[in-house]
Structure 1
Amino acid sequence: MGSQASIPEGVHVVVVGGGFGGIAAAQHLRSGGLDFTLIDMRDAFHHNVASLRASVQPGFARRTFIPYAETFGDSFVQGRVERVDTERQMVILQGGREIQYSHLILCTGTDGPFPGKFNTVASYETAVQAYEDFIQQVQAADSVLVIGGGSTGVEMAAEIKTEYPDKKVVLIHSRVGLADPELLSSVRQQAKEVLLEKGVELLLGQKVKNLSELKLNVIQKNMVVTTDKGETLTTDLIISCTGLRVNSAAYASDFSGSVADNGALKVNNHLQVEGFSNVFALGDCTDISEPKMAYHAGLHAAVAVTNIINSLSGKQLTEYRTGNVTMLLAMGRDDGVGQFNGLRLPRFLVTLGKSRDLLLWKSWREMQQKQP
């Protein structure tokens, strides 16, 4: 996105959320010559595509957090957004600080259980340490139960079994099919085959019945787990990979008329939030019907920033259109399954393209910093 000839005075774009969509939007805004503020509750971007590897491989977590300030300087503000005053066009942070906007980009993402997600007010060092502490729990366990066989659960089970092949790893899933339902059935079948090849035990079509009584992410020898089908198993460590939900706390009260039942923001084809011409949403917090992925958030960011620039110069707005599903699953560092543009890829290609480095190079390059 090239620099603009002239930006009207008083234009200030506030980006709420520094995930994949947020940092992409900030970079597009900077290259477009627009004044902006990026807000996130952490002081470092989390490349959470690699969070599961960081849960099993000592020292890896440090590579998954990239400090914002080194990239964005004074254009980055650490804080938790409490609400948005749409009449005054102010973003209000916890503690009372207010930041004025002419345009707003909401990209608050989804929240879910650790270690897949780390949406906590934390410093870089605290965040890294949380993963190092978790690895000790995994290492001390003889057996691990992963709950949830969506894409995160499948990758989690594969990561543990790859790094610690002697551990007993069981994956329980309420459905019979594994991974994302929008993936090709042949890719989902491949994911199942890889898990079985690695020695992961599968309990499909069953739910954990006594989940509320069980401790998660903390080792406790011989915990008894029962399923709704009457099966009983014992395990030392339980990791939940279910229950992703839209992170709507920052905007729910002020955009109530534009929020879907699940907390996602309703957007039009230009990614404008319903009822607001100067407010855009992108990534996981939108109600766009497509898999929630870093790849899509990046595409959204380019469209949203282009449309802010076009609106300032009176040009026609660009439309975002969903395409065929592209999704790669890292099945440990030595294997992977996936599809590109609706076509199944060979496992070795996914391994080379994603599994070895989990696309970390891409985020470090986008943040214009050198990977440690």
Structure 2
Amino acid sequence: MGGQASRPEGVHVVVVGGGFGGIAAAQQLKSGGLDFTLIDMRDAFHHNVASLRASVQPGFAQRTFIPYVETFGDSFIQGRVERVDTDRQMVVLLGGQEIQYSHLILCTGTDGPFPGKFNTEASYQTAVQAYEDFIQQIQAADSVLVVGGGSTGVEMAAEIKTEYPDKKVVLIHSRIGLADPDLLPSVRQQAKEVLLEKRVELLLGQKVNNLSELQLNVMQKNMVVTTDKGETLTTDLIISCTGLRINSAAYASGFSGSVADNGALQVNNHLQVEGFSNVFAVGDCADIKEPKMAYHAGLHAAVAVTNIINSLSGKQLTEYHTGNITMLLAMGRDDGVGQFNGMRLPRFLVALGKSRDLLLWKSWREMQQKQP
């Protein structure tokens, strides 16, 4: 990566978004001796891989937020990016502050409902409190309905039932198959088996009809839920685990010609945004046909930073290629399912490797801070 002494003149890399891809890019820029600014609307990195555990286990949320300033100092700015002026090579923040870039790495990620995501302009103390308050809603409810049986919904149902085995937990999913469609069928079947073992009730191939009329994330006794198949059920708490969307607001106007239908940025094999040799897209906001995962965001970041360094020294650019899918689902702290490099893993191994700590150690190590 080169030493600190050879800092190239006129190079200033701006990283927009401090999720998994953003902090990986910032750390590599830092160790490569490149001048950079990391921008995020929160004051702390959110290890949202552990957000579902943080929503059931009191005191856990504190470990899932890691302050940026302690790692990146003056290279971090808290703010919301309003737009990118590509002609002037400026990132414009809400409020008018402008930051010049020679190279830009966009890592704006995806947004979705709380508790899976916490994409709000807030201090991390406020965020931690939001999770602690949510736990009280779960604790007060006798029955919980989880809407959506993708990977997040499956993990959410398992987390609640593991922590509170006496609660009635129902999972409703519009499809028959659970978890991510990119997973091996045998792994998806295992996810279903774990939920049934934990006594989660499954309503598959059905949709909630009246979701827009119902209050989410707030305990309210005996809410009546109807499905498109004519079923009716009552529940005390409804948690939505559907509707992830790409955060494109920061770049939509500046890169309108490079945005795919889903809001992601079209990139070439070097992860350069189409039409811009000095702009890279990393993680969920890159239009790459692979599951949206923290693991992939880290791989993208390495390619983007390497290519910035290579372009400065006239070296050949590195290409990013998708590989066999590695994905682990934590099914509560004591169980898990998943695959490594396209091969199904034993459940105990996933529980050991991911479910117990949810890879928190990795993020604290990456941020070079001590876990509380």
Q: Distance in 1 between matches of 2:208 and 2:216?
A: 13
Unaligned runs of 5+ in 1: none
Residues 87-123 of structure 1 deviation map (CA, whole Å, 9 limit, x = unaligned): 1000000111000000000000000000000000000
> SS in structure 1 opposite 2:4?
coil
Report deviation, 1:181.
0.2
Residues 188-210 of structure 1 deviation map (CA, whole Å, 9 limit, x = unaligned): 00000000000000000000001
> SS in structure 2 opposite 1:5?
helix
Q: Distance in 2 between matches of 1:144 and 1:164?
A: 11
Residues 156-189 of structure 1 deviation map (CA, whole Å, 9 limit, x = unaligned): 0000000000000000000000000000000000
Residues 279-309 of structure 1 deviation map (CA, whole Å, 9 limit, x = unaligned): 0000000110000000000000000000000
Q: Distance in 2 between matches of 1:347 and 1:19?
A: 28
- Matched with 2:371 is 371
> SS in structure 1 opposite 2:224?
strand
1:284 paired with 2:270, answer no
Report deviation, 1:3.
2.9
Q: Which moved more, 1:288-297 or 1:2-11?
A: 2-11
CA contact (8 A) 2:7 2:35 kept: no
Q: Distance in 1 between matches of 2:39 and 2:251?
A: 14
> SS in structure 1 opposite 2:339?
strand
Report deviation, 1:5.
6.7
Residues 13-64 of structure 1 deviation map (CA, whole Å, 9 limit, x = unaligned): 0000000000000000011110000000000000000000000000000000
Q: Distance in 2 between matches of 1:10 and 1:191?
A: 51
Q: 1:90 to 1:117 in 2, by over 3 A?
A: same
Q: Distance in 1 between matches of 2:240 and 2:116?
A: 9
**CA RMSD for the aligned pairs?**
0.7
> SS in structure 1 opposite 2:24?
helix
Report deviation, 1:124.
1.2
CA contact (8 A) 2:8 2:34 kept: no
CA contact (8 A) 1:330 1:351 kept: yes
Q: Distance in 2 between matches of 1:43 and 1:6?
A: 30
Residues 310-355 of structure 1 deviation map (CA, whole Å, 9 limit, x = unaligned): 0000000000000000000000000000000000000000000000
CA contact (8 A) 2:151 2:178 kept: yes
Q: Distance in 2 between matches of 1:6 and 1:258?
A: 34
Residues 229-286 of structure 1 deviation map (CA, whole Å, 9 limit, x = unaligned): 0000000000000000000000001100000011000000000000000000000001
Q: Distance in 2 between matches of 1:212 and 1:21?
A: 33
Report deviation, 1:6.
3.2
CA contact (8 A) 2:90 2:99 kept: yes
Q: Distance in 2 between matches of 1:267 and 1:3?
A: 29
Report deviation, 1:4.
6.8
- Matched with 2:361 is 361
Q: Distance in 2 between matches of 1:9 and 1:345?
A: 48
> SS in structure 2 opposite 1:230?
coil
Q: Distance in 2 between matches of 1:312 and 1:7?
A: 11
Which portions of structure 1, spanning 4 or more consecutive aligned residues, are displaced by more than 2 angstroms? Answer: 1-8
CA contact (8 A) 2:283 2:300 kept: yes
- Matched with 1:240 is 240
> SS in structure 2 opposite 1:14?
strand
Q: Distance in 1 between matches of 2:348 and 2:305?
A: 36
Q: 1:335 to 1:2 in 2, by over 3 A?
A: farther
Q: Distance in 1 between matches of 2:6 and 2:139?
A: 57
- Matched with 1:78 is 78
CA contact (8 A) 1:7 1:312 kept: no
Q: Distance in 2 between matches of 1:112 and 1:318?
A: 32
> SS in structure 1 opposite 2:352?
helix
Q: Distance in 2 between matches of 1:216 and 1:136?
A: 14
Report deviation, 1:8.
2.9
Unaligned runs of 5+ in 2: none
TM-score using structure 1 length: 0.99
Q: Distance in 1 between matches of 2:287 and 2:72?
A: 29
> SS in structure 2 opposite 1:269?
coil
Q: Distance in 1 between matches of 2:3 and 2:216?
A: 49
CA contact (8 A) 1:64 1:360 kept: yes
Aligned ranges 1:104-123 → 2 under 5 Å: 104-123=104-123
Percent identity over the alignment is 91
CA contact (8 A) 1:107 1:282 kept: yes
> SS in structure 1 opposite 2:170?
strand
> SS in structure 1 opposite 2:5?
coil
